[in-house]
Structure 1
Amino acid sequence: MGDHKESLRKISTTLALKNEEIQNFICCLKQSLQNLESNSSHALEDLDVEFSSLYSVLDELKEGMVTRIKQERASRTYELQSQLSACTKALESSEEQLELANQALCSSEMDGFNKAAKEIKDSVTMAPAFRLSLKAKVSDNMSHMMVDFTQERNMLLGLKFLPVPGTPEIQVSECQVCDNTVTVVWTLLEPDTKIDHYILEYRRTNHEGPPRIKEEHPWMVVEGIRQTEYTLTGLRFDTRYITFRVKACNKAVTGEFSEPINLETNAFLFKLDSGTAHQNLRVEENSVEWDSCGGKIQEIRKEKNRTSSPLHSPARSALMSPKRGPSVRGGRDRFTAESYTVLGDTVIDAGQHYWEVWFDKESKGFGAGVALRSLGRFDQLGKSSASWCVHLNNWLQQSFTAKHNNKARPLDCAIPDRVGVYCSYDEGILSFYNARTKQLIHSFRAKFTQPVVPAFMVWNGSFSVQTGLQVPSMVQSGQRRNSGTSSSNASLT
């Protein structure tokens, strides 16, 4: 009995679910019927509008052509009538002269004859009949005003509904990713002169394969693209890939999206590790400001009173970089004394990486570079063998130097307000650039025996870091030119 009830209960559940599916499908069909009626009405209205527009164009063309024919007829009529009037008057005058001449010939008086003959001769000499051109000034032929609409008629007979544009295909081999820009190139299998524009959509993702239904980032849309390529600029590569898809549009119809493609966006992304920061450094996102009142103490108290998800919760682990982990420093191990230092939260143990730093040139002290995670809590940046940096000193006398292992080399260049830092871990190269001009400021050559992290210091000033940047092309080119050459700064390495 119990088994039969359970079996019947399962059947009832299945039927209920199936009934719900059928009801939902019925609702969809009813909605489709309503949509079909509405869309058909819109299509008929659009067709009327288009044909009315075509009729208007034809009427306008006809009116213009009729006007030209009437103007041509009026102009020629005037010329022919003027010539006809002149000829009629000349003929009348000539007939009068002829009549006088005949009368003179019939006269028997010699004196009268001579006088009449002389008058007739003088008047005939000046007669308009002998000055007339007996050729029509204008032609009566109007064949140049004839029209032949055979081609246009065939075009009209060939009018059809707009076809759905073909599906574009993104040419992965021609797409480019460099200098934090992405150029996407696509083609159509068959040319289509009806295409008006393209729509490109993209979104960031950490997945290499096909796009998933649920993604962390929404699609971004670029409309009105007239060419078969587009360059996205001002990007921040804070994910591993960017997914792209494109579709073609004509005046009324939109085609299908192309197959999505993923382009890898290699860039170094890190955050400032507030757990390492000196208590006088106030860290907000990727910005730091020196606070003589010990701004970090208040932040620490806030963190203690704030409830947050556990360190190893799914929400945290899903977003955490494999090279980014909880700070090994905390509490008493943070930088202290005169080491106004803060480290990045992501280690560098391979590859080429680049980031930029904006800093206040009025700061009493500022430094940027890399350091080992084991850098001592009292160690100042550049004053131990565990750190390399460029350092600005505005205390008493201004200086701009490259520092490592407590040795400093003055840098003979204008102090920029924005420094680019390039680190090639495998080659043991750490280079600093004017981030605006990409001119080399200084290069260290060293053997990194341990992974390093971005490191910064500031005293009586502020700075901010921009990450998610690719190695700029100019920096890569400069590094290739300098490879194999000895460093002039070997004494600091």
Structure 2
Amino acid sequence: MGDQKESLRKITHTLAMKNEEISNFVCTLKQSLDNLEANSSRVQEDLESEFTSLHSVLDEMKENMVTRIKQERASRTYELQSQLSACSKALESSEELLELANQTLCSSATDGFNQVTDSLHPFRLSLKAKASDNMSHLMVDFSQERGVLQGLKFLPVPATPEIQVSECQVCDNTVTVVWTLPEPDSKIDHYILEHRRTNHEGPPRIREDYPWMVLEGIRELEYTLTGLRFDTRFMTFRVKACNKAVAGEFSEPVTLETHAFTFKLDAASSHQNLKVDDLSVEWDSCGGKIQDIRKEKTRTNSPMHSPARSALMSPKRAPTARPGRDRFTAESYTVLADTMIDAGQQYWEVRFDKESKAFAVGVALRSLGKFDQLGKSSASWCIHLNNWLQQSLTAKHNNKARTLDCAIPNTIGVYVNYDEGVLSFYNSKTKQLMHTFKTKFQQPIIPAFMVWNGSFSVLTGLQVPSLVQSGQRKNSGTSSSNASLT
């Protein structure tokens, strides 16, 4: 009896699910009918508007041509009437002169001959019409236009583009998307490209938080997005073609990997004199930490997440084994990132206040002591800016320092190749190499920062720049000039 009830329960559940699907489909059909009515009315109104506009153009052209004919007729009429009037007057005068000539012939007086001869001069008129009566040059042949109008038909819906994944490029925090059409279409006016961020490979999921971002008015078969920050692992793209009247269907969505190193600053690891806000830090001389507790709910106290091992789902971070919020103390004005590095190549940048009394950026092992200052133990490597008494920029590791002979940039780029044991620092604007540590990391490392009487902010979600990668390849075969610090 129990098995029968369970079977019936399953059947009931299946029927309920099916009933819900049918109900949803009925709602969809009703909405489609409403949309059909509205869309058909809209296109009919658009068609009537276009024909009205076409009629207006023809009426205007007709009016202009009729005016031209009237002007030409009036001009020629004036010329011919003037010539006719002059000839009529000459004809009347010639009859009088003819009678005078006949009388002179009958007379023997010499004065009569001279008078008749002088009177002939005004009658030397041109007997050629000044204007033609031919108006054929104003005739219009509408056969070609009539053929065009008779061939008038609805614009076809543009074909669906296809994104060429093999030609798309993702580098230097830019994405170039390339697509093609099944066949050339001269009536296409522009393309619409949409993209959305995602942490899932494959088709976009309905319940994802990230919305579609729309780019309109694209005239070419490719588009490059610049200035991106890759804070998700993938970006999904789709594109559609549009002519003057209608848009086609979207292409099949294509997902491109946009892997980059992303982290936040771990407020639980910071010195009590540092005010930490996700990716920015400000020195607080009063020693009071003002933290947003709600932000702590999204991350734990220990940087156990590795970008090399990150899955498609949200990263898992284990709770810290160290009690208390204030890890660093005394003169170790340090804060760590919340994500560790245990493989691969990573890159991030740091903008800092050059007026800071002291600032340092680098990496550290998780074993870095709470009293340890960056670069003064074997567990950390860094570039250190000293702005106290005399300004200097040094590379530090294991309490050894080397002064760097280079300009102090506003932003420093940090490159890590964990597998090859390379830590390099760059001028982020020029990509000029400032210093390289070469070592062998025995444990996972964590981005580390120090500031005293100053502030800084971190830029994450950045790919390794092409110039940095090419420079690293060139230097891979050379010996390290910084071996004494490793």
TM-score range for the pair, normalised by the shorter chain length: 0.7 to 0.9
Q: Which residue of 2 aligns with 1:262?
A: 255
2:373 maps to 1:373: no
* Superposition map of 1:9-408 within 5 A: 25-107=25-107, 109=108, 112=109, 114-124=110-120, 126-127=121-122, 129-130=123-124, 132-296=125-289, 299=291, 320-321=314-315, 325-327=318-320, 329-331=322-324, 334-408=327-401
CA contact (8 A) 1:273 1:327 kept: no
Amino acid at match of 1:321: P
Deviations 1:143-167 (A, max 9, x none): 2211121221122112222322211
Per the TM alignment, residue 378 of structure 1 is displaced from its structure 2 partner at its CA by 2.1
Per the TM alignment, residue 366 of structure 1 is displaced from its structure 2 partner at its CA by 0.3
Per the TM alignment, residue 24 of structure 1 is displaced from its structure 2 partner at its CA by 5.4
SS across alignment from 1:342: strand
Per the TM alignment, residue 333 of structure 1 is displaced from its structure 2 partner at its CA by 8.4
Per the TM alignment, residue 203 of structure 1 is displaced from its structure 2 partner at its CA by 1.0
Deviations 1:322-368 (A, max 9, x none): 7x654465439822221111122222233222111111112111001
- In structure 2, the CA distance between the partners of 1:379 and 1:29, relative to structure 1 (3 Å rule), is closer
CA contact (8 A) 1:355 1:468 kept: yes
SS across alignment from 2:329: coil
- In structure 2, the CA distance between the partners of 1:32 and 1:432, relative to structure 1 (3 Å rule), is closer
CA contact (8 A) 2:80 2:130 kept: yes
Amino acid at match of 2:53: S
2:464 maps to 1:471: yes
CA contact (8 A) 2:301 2:320 kept: no
Moved more, 264-273 or 402-411: 402-411
* d(CA) in 2 for partners of 1:180, 1:10: 51
* d(CA) in 2 for partners of 1:18, 1:488: 72
CA contact (8 A) 1:201 1:221 kept: yes
The number of residues matched between the two structures is: 478
Deviations 1:75-101 (A, max 9, x none): 222222223333333444444433332
Per the TM alignment, residue 492 of structure 1 is displaced from its structure 2 partner at its CA by 3.0
Deviations 1:120-151 (A, max 9, x none): 22332x32x32x33333333222221112122
SS across alignment from 1:347: coil
Deviations 1:402-436 (A, max 9, x none): 22222222223332222111222334332222223
- In structure 2, the CA distance between the partners of 1:449 and 1:99, relative to structure 1 (3 Å rule), is farther
* d(CA) in 2 for partners of 1:471, 1:250: 40
Moved more, 284-293 or 21-30: 21-30
* d(CA) in 2 for partners of 1:317, 1:183: 25
2:438 maps to 1:412: no
* d(CA) in 2 for partners of 1:415, 1:225: 41
* d(CA) in 2 for partners of 1:237, 1:72: 71
CA contact (8 A) 2:271 2:326 kept: no
Per the TM alignment, residue 449 of structure 1 is displaced from its structure 2 partner at its CA by 3.4
* d(CA) in 2 for partners of 1:266, 1:4: 53
Moved more, 401-410 or 16-25: 16-25
CA contact (8 A) 2:163 2:177 kept: yes
Per the TM alignment, residue 318 of structure 1 is displaced from its structure 2 partner at its CA by 7.9
- In structure 2, the CA distance between the partners of 1:271 and 1:327, relative to structure 1 (3 Å rule), is farther
SS across alignment from 2:112: helix
Structure 2: state its 5+ residue gaps: 303-309
Amino acid at match of 2:89: K
Deviations 1:298-338 (A, max 9, x none): 659x69xx9889999xxx9986437x654465439822221
Moved more, 338-347 or 84-93: 84-93
CA contact (8 A) 1:276 1:327 kept: no
Please tell me the root mean square deviation across aligned C-alpha atoms, in Å. Answer: 3.3
